[in-house]
Amino acid sequence: MKFSERVLNVTPSATLQVSALAKQMQADGIDVINLSTGEPDFATPLNIQTAAIASITDGRASYYTPVSGLPALKTAIINRVEADTGRLVEPNQVTVTVGAKMGLYSLFQAVLEPGDAAMVIAPYWVSYEEQLKLSGATVQIVQPAAPDLKVTVTELEAAKTDATRLLILNSPQNPAGLVYEAAELKAIAQWALDNDVLLVADEIYGKLVYNGTKFTSVLEFSDEIFANTVLIDGVSKAYAMTGWRLGYVVAQKEIISKINLLLGHMTSNPTTAAQYAAIEALSGDQVPVAKMREAFETRLNTTYALLEAVEGVKLSFKPQGAFYFFPDVTEAMVKLGYMNTVEFAMAVLQEAHVAVVAGEAFGMPGHIRLSYATSQELLTEAIARIKAFIEKSE
């Protein structure tokens, strides 16, 4: 069988691969603790489940919806965006997608082509690079020099070329959990505007910030900045709805209509019952979100202290958002004689029975990503296993 160049160039998702291997080991009876996945361990709140079930049993979920989503869902998104950021957007500036992932994919397909370049800041979420490659664009990876892993305008300026069309900014960020402060974010957004670089603000973890950290959305800045911004968001992370596959894009109507043109042929619409669920998520009781956020915060604080006590594992800052740690494990890796963090992560899985993802997958070798979206009991046990594994030869 002959396959396209396009598909042959795709690197499989490292997080899904590690997770699949961990699940296989678990199925074989091995007690593996899986810290590799990027999803909350909580079940979707009951009010959201109930709204979806009602839409199924009374028949509303039996049908296609408009490509850009149920009008009531768009209203719920508009109201949520206004409540959270103060920005009032029009229905034709919103579309709903099969997860934020599809929002990003269809955006790149709509605005990029061979000859264009797109900037991604390391460490970055695994799918950005592969999705950008599929659009034909060149990927420009910017490696921030500061220990807080935040990119500066000077670094962006140095990496930009005449081909640069787009910059992805993810805050709160996966995999290191950093959160840009308002002034830092504004400087980057203003730079993008001044340089005619479209800003893609991936704010999927916006509701998951901890220990007093304030989340700022790019939508809070000037109208000119908003006109140069594409917001990517969704219900997966904040509402524990990864399985429902429901995301949304907010941007200028010209961009939204082109995305809809593609979606009309690619997906038609996200599953109708998931859209009814999302209406309830975005406009219903927000207390479950607050409770899950609090639980993540407690786990972050407890686990951070445990991780700090592991020799050879360095965290240059305490994560402020999302639900991941991204420590530098170079020292431990060298001490144990591994050549790179892919080998190190594999050994952690096979010997310590803890699944983590190697930094190579996020464009920053020397690190591993551990998700704390699991119970404290498992987190504590996992860190103890990693510590024993690293210290075994002493």
Q: Per rule CB under 6 A, is residue 321 in the interface with ligand PLP?
A: no
Residue 57 beta carbon to ligand PLP: minimum distance, rounded to whole angstroms:
26
Both tokens of residue 188?
Answer: 């980057």
The whole-angstrom separation of Cα 391 and Cα 190 is 47
Q: In this chain, which of 55, 85, 135, 174 binds ligand PLP, going by CB under 6 A? A: 174
Residue type, 156: L
Residues 6-25 that bind ligand PLP (CB under 6 A): none
Shortest distance, CB of residue 124 to ligand PLP, whole angstroms?
8
Nearer to ligand PLP, 109 or 330 (CB): 109
Q: Applying CB under 6 A, what is the total number of residues that bind ligand PLP?
A: 13
> Which of 189/232 has CB closer to ligand PLP?
232
Q: How many CA atoms lie within 13 A of 40 on its CB side?
A: 28
Q: Tell me whether residue 38 or residue 45 sits nearer to ligand PLP (CB atom).
A: 38
Beta bridge partners of 167: 119, 199
Stretch (H or E) spanning 198: strand 198-202
Q: Which is nearer to ligand PLP, 234 or 366 (CB)?
A: 234
Decide if residue 297 touches ligand PLP (CB under 6 A).
no
The Cα 329–Cα 66 span in angstroms is: 48
Give me the least distance between CB of 174 and ligand PLP, in Å please.
Answer: 4
∠ CA 68-70-72 to the nearest 5 degrees?
125
Q: Which is nearer to ligand PLP, 156 or 231 (CB)?
A: 231
- End-to-end CA gap in the chain: 52
Per DSSP, the chain holds a count of helices (H) and strands (E) of 15, 12
Decide whether 105 or 344 has the Cβ nearer to ligand PLP: 105
Q: How far is the CB of 198 from ligand PLP (least distance, A)?
A: 17
Alpha-carbon 107 to chain mean position: 16
Residue whose CB is less far from ligand PLP, 148 or 351: 148
CB nearest ligand PLP: which residue? 99
Among 33, 35, 36, 38, binds ligand PLP (CB under 6 A): 38
Among residues 94, 137, 178, 202, which is the contact residue for ligand PLP, using CB under 6 A?
202
Site string for ligand PLP, 205-234 (x = CB under 6 A): -----------------------------x
Q: Please answer whether residues 116 and 163 qualify as being in contact, where contact means their C-beta atoms are separated by less than 8 angstroms.
A: yes
User: What is the SS3 assignment for 212?
Assistant: coil
The reply on whether position 170 binds ligand PLP by CB under 6 A is yes
Q: Nearest approach, Cβ of 133 to ligand PLP (angstroms)?
A: 17
Pairing of strands 324-325, 368-371: antiparallel
Residue 231 CB, shortest distance to ligand PLP, in Å, is 12
Task: State how far the Cα of 219 lies from the Cα of 249, in Å rounded to an integer.
Answer: 12
86 vs 243, beta carbon nearer ligand PLP: 243
Q: Is 45 in the site for ligand PLP (CB under 6 A)?
A: no
**What whole-number distance in Å separates Cα of residue 218 and Cα of residue 15?**
28
Does 236 bind ligand PLP (CB under 6 A)? Our answer is yes
CA 151 to CA 39: how far, in whole Å? Answer: 26
x-marked contacts with ligand PLP along 243-282 as a string, rule CB under 6 A: ----x-----------------------------------
Looking at the Cβ atoms of 132 and 332, the one nearer to ligand PLP is: 132
Q: Which one of 105, 125, 248, 276 is in contact with ligand PLP (CB under 6 A)?
A: 125
Confirm or reject binding of residue 36 to ligand PLP (CB under 6 A): no
Computed from CA positions of residues 44, 50, 53, 55, in that sequence, does the dihedral angle turn out positive or negative? negative
| CA distance linking residue 68 with residue 179, whole number of Å | 30
DSSP string, 51-110: HHHHHHHTSGGGS---TT--HHHHHHHHHHHHHHH-----GGGEEEESHHHHHHHHHHHH
Rounded-to-integer distance, Cα 346 and Cα 26, Å: 15
Which residues from 92-121 bind ligand PLP, rule CB under 6 A? 99-101
- Site for ligand PLP contains 204 (CB under 6 A): yes
CB 345 within 8 A of CB 364: no
Residues near ligand PLP (CB under 6 A) are 38, 99-101, 125, 170, 174, 202, 204, 234, 236, 242, 247
